[in-house]
Structure 1
Amino acid sequence: MNSRERILGRVRRALADAPAEDEPIARDYLREHGQRTVAETVELLAENLADYRAVVHRCTDEELPDVLTRLLAERGARSVLVPPGLPPHWLGAVDATRVPDRAVSTPHELDQVDSVVTGCAVAIAETGTIVLDGSPDQGRRRITLVPDHHICVVRVPGQVVSSVPQGLERLDPARPLTWISGPSATSDIELDRVEGVHGPRTLEVVLVGQGRTGAT
């Protein structure tokens, strides 16, 4: 008996008492931890985003274009990558070159872009996670992985859920999902945190609600 046969034999023995493929899987685990109001869920999201070193802003629909204009100006962005389905009025007053999301763009070209602005598919409060699914307002996955500055717009409370199980219910597993918990970072080398290794060094999240908040 060779190594391959030995390993496969162990796998078969381990699966001997596994349920049949057509047997439903019990999903009786907690769907969320604790009971929260909608407002408390949004607050938890903001806290966990900040804990992951994302920069959180709040505004209303009416204030959003001004907030995006200000954030890009403060960043000194001379170019901004724009997904095809991003509402045009969001960046209507932005004084920066719009770069379209194109399949032919090279990694070098994307690396020259100062900022990218997207929407999101869902935001998960308990983990402080933003999920993108490649919808028209989010564009191709790589446009949020190469540029160094990502501004993500989250509509509250409609796009906010408490837990990962609730988030998964809203997502299509066949789509290109990108899960973002704060700016790109790693501590693999001597436990020193280094940001911007495999994604944006700076993540700004704009929580957009209906009521008057005062832009921050």
Structure 2
Amino acid sequence: MSDSRDTASRDRASREVVLGRVRAALRDAPVPPPVPREYRPAGRDASLEMLIDRLVDYKAVVHRVSEEEVASTVTGLAGESVIVPTGLPHAWRPAGAVPDDGLAPDRIAAADAVLTAAAVAVAETGTIVLDGSPDQGRRIITLLPDVHFCVLRPSQVVAAVPDAVARLDPRRPLTWISGPSATSDIELNRVEGVHGPRHLHVLLLTG
């Protein structure tokens, strides 16, 4: 027992020696200046054209449509099996759309496409954010189908990431989407569809 106490005592003494040397070395260190936070302020005007340019650069397809044209646009591009979240407006749903009322993963993966709304989009980065609201649904329905159709209102487009963060609730399940799912191997060969849909269609509402 005494050996254990002696070892613990030596350890504490050694630790204090090391910490003392660290404190001494830092005693005369300069105080770092405060980090500026005003270099990327929120509140700048958003540019729809910039968002479209970024989305196209990410190989997403952008369609400018009215609310009345959402369903017919999806019908013309997708197959017969389109999954929608239960809170998606009925006017947007193509004929035969399948609401996600707890569908099994294999049923979701077998669907031709998924159609959702969005929470916000960032013009500067071409990023669309989903937050799991009723018109966006569970994260799984936007990861397994090969095609994702996403309806976006102009009022949901913000200039930069700080603007998006200001609008979002960090307690919600946030999914940040910058174009179709893609990755590269060690030789930089691009492979699409590894972690999500290979095709992203953004339906930007005109009204």
What is the TM-score normalised by the length of structure 2? 0.78
From 175, 180, 201, the equivalent of 2:177 is: 180
C-alpha distance after superposition, 1:41-89 (max 9, x if no partner): 00000000000000111022233333233222xxxx1211110110011
Quote the Cα distance in structure 2 between the aligned partners of 1:154 and 1:199.
Answer: 19
Moved beyond 6 Å, runs of 4+: none
Quote the Cα distance in structure 2 between the aligned partners of 1:107 and 1:61.
Answer: 29
What is the CA-CA distance between 1:32 and the residue it aligns to? 6.4
Alignment pair present for 1:70 and 2:76: yes
C-alpha distance after superposition, 1:88-108 (max 9, x if no partner): 1112xx344x322133x3322
Q: Which residue of 1 aligns with 2:132?
A: 134
Quote the Cα distance in structure 1 between the aligned partners of 2:184 and 2:173.
Answer: 26
Alignment pair present for 1:85 and 2:87: yes
Quote the Cα distance in structure 2 between the aligned partners of 1:190 and 1:59.
Answer: 39
Quote the Cα distance in structure 1 between the aligned partners of 2:189 and 2:57.
Answer: 17
What is the CA-CA distance between 1:149 and the residue it aligns to? 0.5
From 108, 111, 117, the equivalent of 1:110 is: 108
What is the CA-CA distance between 1:26 and the residue it aligns to? 6.0
Which 5+ residue runs of structure 1 have no aligned equivalent?
18-24, 211-216
Identity rate, percent? 55
From 130, 140, 145, the equivalent of 1:147 is: 145
Quote the Cα distance in structure 2 between the aligned partners of 1:132 and 1:114.
Answer: 20
Q: Is the 8 A contact 2:116 2:151 kept in 1?
A: yes
Q: Is the 8 A contact 2:59 2:180 kept in 1?
A: yes
- Higher normalized helix content (fraction of residues): 2
Alignment pair present for 1:31 and 2:41: yes
What is the TM-score normalised by the length of structure 1? 0.75
Alignment pair present for 1:48 and 2:54: yes
C-alpha distance after superposition, 1:164-213 (max 9, x if no partner): 00000000000000000000000034211000001001000011021xxx
Q: Which stretch of structure 1 is more off in the superposition, 164-173 or 52-61?
A: 52-61
Alignment RMSD, CA only? Answer: 2.7
Quote the Cα distance in structure 2 between the aligned partners of 1:84 and 1:207.
Answer: 21
Quote the Cα distance in structure 1 between the aligned partners of 2:68 and 2:108.
Answer: 30
User: Structure 1 106/61 Cα, relative in aligned 2: closer, same or farther at 3 Å?
Assistant: closer
Quote the Cα distance in structure 1 between the aligned partners of 2:193 and 2:74.
Answer: 22
Quote the Cα distance in structure 1 between the aligned partners of 2:186 and 2:145.
Answer: 23
Quote the Cα distance in structure 2 between the aligned partners of 1:144 and 1:90.
Answer: 17
Provide the aligned length of Structure 1 versus Structure 2. Answer: 181
Which 5+ residue runs of structure 2 have no aligned equivalent?
1-10, 24-28, 30-34
Quote the Cα distance in structure 2 between the aligned partners of 1:178 and 1:192.
Answer: 25
SS at match of 2:68: coil
Quote the Cα distance in structure 1 between the aligned partners of 2:197 and 2:74.
Answer: 17
Q: Is the 8 A contact 2:67 2:91 kept in 1?
A: no
Q: Which residue of 2 aligns with 1:208?
A: 205
Quote the Cα distance in structure 1 between the aligned partners of 2:134 and 2:124.
Answer: 26
What is the CA-CA distance between 1:161 and the residue it aligns to? 0.2
Alignment-mate amino acid for residue 69 of structure 1: T
SS at match of 1:172: coil
SS at match of 1:63: helix
Quote the Cα distance in structure 2 between the aligned partners of 1:100 and 1:168.
Answer: 29
